[in-house]
Amino acid sequence: METTRENRVVVLIDMDCFYCQVEEKLNPELKGKPIAVVQYNPWKGGGIIAVNYVARAMGVTRHMRGDEAKDKCPEIQLPSVPCHRGKADITKYRDAGKEVARVLQRFTPLLERASIDEAYLDITAAVQHRLKSINTSAISVEVMPNTFALGYETLAEFISDVSRFGGDCMEFDCEHAMSLLVGAWIVSEIREAVYRETGYQCSAGIAHNKILAKLVCGMNKPNKQTVLPKHSINLLYKSLPIKKVKHLGGKFGDHVCQVLSVKLMGELQTFTERELQSRLDEKNGTWLYNIARGVDLEPVQARFNPKSIGCCKQLRGKSALTDLMSLKKWLRDLGDEIEDRLEKDALENNRNPKQMVVSFSLQLSEGRDSSSSRSYNFAPDDELCGEIFAAKALELLLDSAEGCRPKDEETNRRLKAPITFLGISVGKFEDNENKKTKKIKDFFSAGPSTAKTDIREKSNHGSKCDNIIKDAKSENISEDAKCDNVIKSFVVKNAPVDVCKDAGKDYVMRKFFQATDKENNSSKQRRVVETSLDKQESFFAKFLKNDSTKSTEIKLDKSYNTKGGNQEVYIKTDNNLESGLTVPRGIPDNDSNETNSNYSTSTINAEINKSIALFDEDPDEINRVTDMRKLLNSSSIVDAEATESNYSHNQQVANEIETIQCTECGKTISMHMLNTHADYHLALKLRDEERQHMRQEREEQRKEKFSEHVEAKVSRQEKGESNKSIASFFVKLDDSVPSESCKQCGKRVPLYDLSEHLDFHEAQKLNRELNRSVLQANNSVTNSVKRKRKSTSPVKKVKVPCKSIDSFFR
């Protein structure tokens, strides 16, 4: 079957009351009880941002206050979002969302994270693959529980329709209904994997495009999935309010309803494309015409990581900022949060932001705010830390501030207008240079090690890897090779992962080989432990297996076009799997040039974090005690033919050893957690190494580029990019540096920077004049016709003349 934009199989996965589920997982006592997560706010018990289904049944909803919820449901529990630096801190939910997304990502590289708890998946390729490999008559209700087909009383009726009409039928588009049905089958497996591996439940919508998938996802909740066959679209639209459709939920939707005098989606089909274009505009007219017919060509973007990282704070009412000190304090807090999140991001994704934006709102008068934002492109020597973010943000805020001079600065200077909103965000990420930062990757590279990074040199006393390292020391090889070998042997020893089919289900079999001591090398005794938990696959093992032994055959599916027709997406398939669904990790994301045979540093880092997080989540299991050292000190040689060991033998050995004690942390580990646990210690080690290394790296880069930057700075100014070079308000002048007061602003400026500083004032003047004329021009065409959303807004919005910010400071 030919695949086109119109008959893709697109899925929206939506986590059910996600924040509540996260809280329930963290505190199992909450399970089954009515709960609502509140954002800490001392006023009336905080604002509710998530409600579980027990509480919903009792009438608790979002948008309510904690106190109201207590009224409706006295026994409700109200876990609250933790508070850091005076702000809600949603880190744990973000991490949980990532954990889920990583599971989803295994099933298709075409994954678009839409929010913290939602993701679109394009599983067209997987559906095609399965259609080829199975007998469609085998599809039954049993393989996809909790599945609904829109337009049918029962799923069985839908299945029966699809199979009864065979390949050619006029009643409905049978071929595409079949693809959705198979899609639903796969999605039920995806949801099952999510539940099994994370403990979270979700709902899903399965349709031919994003809009429809989103639409039906919410029709059966929680823990259910809904298919929307093409021929049921009109039925759905017949009673569907226009405002329920994505992009039509706001002012634009109001406008559509108003100018067309309609309320329901079905009514839109009476308009021709021309008519819609003339009443809206060309683009929106065509878009609406298509949507009205269930056609939405938006591709699912392959995007896992956010494009920007930001944080902001509403400072309404009394908490509005009125003095410079509190402004600085808030900027610093926001900056520090960005720093924290950036550090995590850099570790996982090996990238850094090139731009920063500060946004703010000023209260002009009662109920009238004006919002603005200013952006700044980082200089090469800017340290990506909270202090710099705050300093730059303040600069941007004050840059157009006439009369705001350091000499006037008092500790408590009041702002002329209260700041009611403050936000900092960073974006325009670029991948880091390969260079030395790929240290960890060097560890794992198959070729000769180039990195002079013996894990022993940097490791502190009491290293977590001591017992691993002992092995290497006895070997007669170079230090580097030893180091590589240490890790490889460690990994391989813990590693081999096989896939076998069992009762129609894919089980990941893990085999653990234990040979005797080297002295006794000849009499290898094999021990095998297996488990069906995907969760315990060792990434490190897979890495080595894929990267060096190549025992997993890689097959490239036919490329599949997305936006622009340029982007080729490769589906990496393990041939052992009939379904062709399980995609090994390490799939390059859309903006990476990595090949299939390589894992990016990002991936490795992500796995390190995951490994740590994963173990942290697992409760200790205490049974029989064995000595982990015995296992870790054992030989690393893996017998290739060992992989042929049969199931019953494995089972037998598995039963022999149930738990061991980790010599690192003393915890008792059940055997099936051994690999995970070993990875955990290795990951901890590697993460520390990498963190330390990155700090050094950043420091070096700043030093290297500094002189270069000073020159570049001047030339940038000549080009009019003046704002970049202004000295920070927070910069403390070194007394030893000869400096002079600027006659214009009174600020102390180092002599070597003085001419540059004066240039700045000139450029600033020009900038201001330019801004004024632009603003005047803008005001003359207020609410231009082309700005649909604005001009058509039912809310009359007075365009506030944009005064320069400085006029709001005294």
Partner DNA sequence: CATGGTCGGGAC
Partner DNA sequence: GTCCCGAC
> Which residue numbers are catalytic?
118
Interface with DNA (CB under 7 A), residue from 2, 74, 137, 318: 318
Binding to DNA (CB under 7 A) within 36-65 occurs at: 39, 41, 43, 47, 49, 62-63
- Residue 670, H or E segment: strand 668-670
Selected range binding DNA among 25-33, 158-166, 260-268, 784-792, rule: CB under 7 A? 784-792
Cα–chain-centroid distance for residue 470? 39
Closest to DNA by CB, 50 or 455 = 50
Q: What is the total count of residues that contact DNA (CB under 7 A)?
A: 66
Build a one-symbol-per-residue string for 404-443: x at contacts with DNA by CB under 7 A, - elsewhere: -------------------x-x-x----------------
Q: How far apart are CA 609 and CA 774, in angstroms?
A: 48
Binding to DNA (CB under 7 A) within 732-771 occurs at: none
Binding to DNA (CB under 7 A) within 330-359 occurs at: 337, 355, 357
Closest to DNA by CB, 375 or 549 = 375
The token duo for 110 is: 């075409």
Build a one-symbol-per-residue string for 245-264: x at contacts with DNA by CB under 7 A, - elsewhere: xxxxxxxxx-----------
In 40-129, the DSSP E strands lie at 47-51, 80-81, 83-84, 87-88, 111-115, 118-122
Closest to DNA by CB, 371 or 696 = 371
Q: Shortest approach of DNA to residue 3 CB, angstroms?
A: 22
Q: If 0-12 CB within 10 Å is exposed, 13-18 middle and 19+ buried, where does residue 568 land?
A: exposed
Q: Which residues lie across from 497 on neighbouring strands?
A: 510
Count of Cβ atoms closer than 10 Å to residue 806 Cβ: 16
Q: How far apart are CA 11 and CA 211, in angstroms?
A: 10
Interface with DNA (CB under 7 A), residue from 31, 33, 238, 283: 283
Closest to DNA by CB, 329 or 413 = 329
Interface with DNA (CB under 7 A), residue from 108, 284, 350, 725: 284
Handedness of CA 408, 414, 415, 420 (dihedral sign): positive
- Residue 478, H or E segment: none
Q: Shortest approach of DNA to residue 39 CB, angstroms?
A: 5
The angle formed by the CA atoms of residues 369, 398 and 404, to the nearest 5 degrees, is 110
Q: How far apart are CA 338 and CA 313, in angstroms?
A: 13
Q: Shortest approach of DNA to residue 798 CB, angstroms?
A: 10
Q: Shortest approach of DNA to residue 567 CB, angstroms?
A: 14
8 A C-beta contact, residue 290 and residue 268: no
User: Is there binding between residue 681 and DNA (CB under 7 A)?
Assistant: no
Q: Which residues lie across from 425 on neighbouring strands?
A: 310, 357
Conformational region of residue 333, where left means phi above 0, alpha means psi within -120 to 50, and beta covers everything else: alpha
Closest to DNA by CB, 119 or 404 = 119
Interface with DNA (CB under 7 A), residue from 789, 801, 807, 810: 789
The angle formed by the CA atoms of residues 578, 584 and 586, to the nearest 5 degrees, is 155
Binding to DNA (CB under 7 A) within 376-395 occurs at: 377
What is the three-class DSSP state of 380? coil
State the Rg of the chain over Cα: 30
User: Is there binding between residue 307 and DNA (CB under 7 A)?
Assistant: yes
Selected range binding DNA among 126-134, 182-190, 271-279, 795-803, rule: CB under 7 A? 795-803
8 A C-beta contact, residue 572 and residue 594: no
Selected range binding DNA among 142-150, 364-372, 441-449, 461-469, rule: CB under 7 A? 364-372
The token duo for 694 is: 């990155």
User: Is there binding between residue 802 and DNA (CB under 7 A)?
Assistant: yes
Selected range binding DNA among 131-139, 311-319, 554-562, 608-616, rule: CB under 7 A? 311-319
CA neighbor of 33 nearest in space, from 18, 23, 47, 42? 23
Q: Give the count of alpha carbons within 13 A of 22, CB side only.
A: 24
User: Is there binding between residue 299 and DNA (CB under 7 A)?
Assistant: no
8 A C-beta contact, residue 217 and residue 227: no
Q: Which residues lie across from 373 on neighbouring strands?
A: 359
State how beta strands 202-207 and 225-227 pair: parallel
Q: Shortest approach of DNA to residue 139 CB, angstroms?
A: 30
Interface with DNA (CB under 7 A), residue from 478, 597, 784, 807: 784
User: Is there binding between residue 88 and DNA (CB under 7 A)?
Assistant: yes
Binding to DNA (CB under 7 A) within 184-243 occurs at: 214
User: Is there binding between residue 311 and DNA (CB under 7 A)?
Assistant: yes
Q: Shortest approach of DNA to residue 61 CB, angstroms?
A: 10
What is the three-class DSSP state of 533? coil
Closest to DNA by CB, 244 or 518 = 244
User: Is there binding between residue 278 and DNA (CB under 7 A)?
Assistant: no
Interface with DNA (CB under 7 A), residue from 7, 301, 514, 596: 301
Q: If 0-12 CB within 10 Å is exposed, 13-18 middle and 19+ buried, where does residue 84 land?
A: middle
Give me the residue label for tokens 């005047």.
776
Q: How far apart are CA 700 and CA 710, in angstroms?
A: 16
User: Is there binding between residue 606 and DNA (CB under 7 A)?
Assistant: no
Q: Shortest approach of DNA to residue 247 CB, angstroms?
A: 5
User: Is there binding between residue 163 and DNA (CB under 7 A)?
Assistant: no
User: Is there binding between residue 797 and DNA (CB under 7 A)?
Assistant: yes
User: Is there binding between residue 719 and DNA (CB under 7 A)?
Assistant: no
Interface with DNA (CB under 7 A), residue from 198, 201, 232, 370: 370
Question: Order of strands across the sheet with 80-81?
Answer: 47-51, 36-39, 80-81
Q: Shortest approach of DNA to residue 283 CB, angstroms?
A: 5
CA neighbor of 724 nearest in space, from 379, 321, 441, 291? 379
Interface with DNA (CB under 7 A), residue from 136, 319, 467, 598: 319
Long-range contacts of 614-619 (CB under 8 A, 24+ apart): 614/535, 614/676, 614/680, 615/673, 615/676, 615/677, 615/679, 615/680, 616/680, 618/673, 618/676
Closest to DNA by CB, 198 or 573 = 198
User: Is there binding between residue 155 and DNA (CB under 7 A)?
Assistant: no
User: Is there binding between residue 285 and DNA (CB under 7 A)?
Assistant: no
Interface with DNA (CB under 7 A), residue from 372, 459, 532, 598: 372
CA neighbor of 596 nearest in space, from 571, 579, 622? 571
Closest to DNA by CB, 284 or 552 = 284
Selected range binding DNA among 22-30, 122-130, 365-373, 474-482, rule: CB under 7 A? 365-373
8 A C-beta contact, residue 302 and residue 108: no
Q: How far apart are CA 785 and CA 280, in angstroms?
A: 11
- Contact positions vs DNA (CB under 7 A): 39, 41, 43, 47, 49, 62-63, 87-88, 90, 94, 114-118, 214, 245-253, 283-284, 301, 303, 306-314, 316-319, 337, 355, 357, 370-375, 377, 423, 425, 427, 784, 786-790, 793, 797, 799, 802
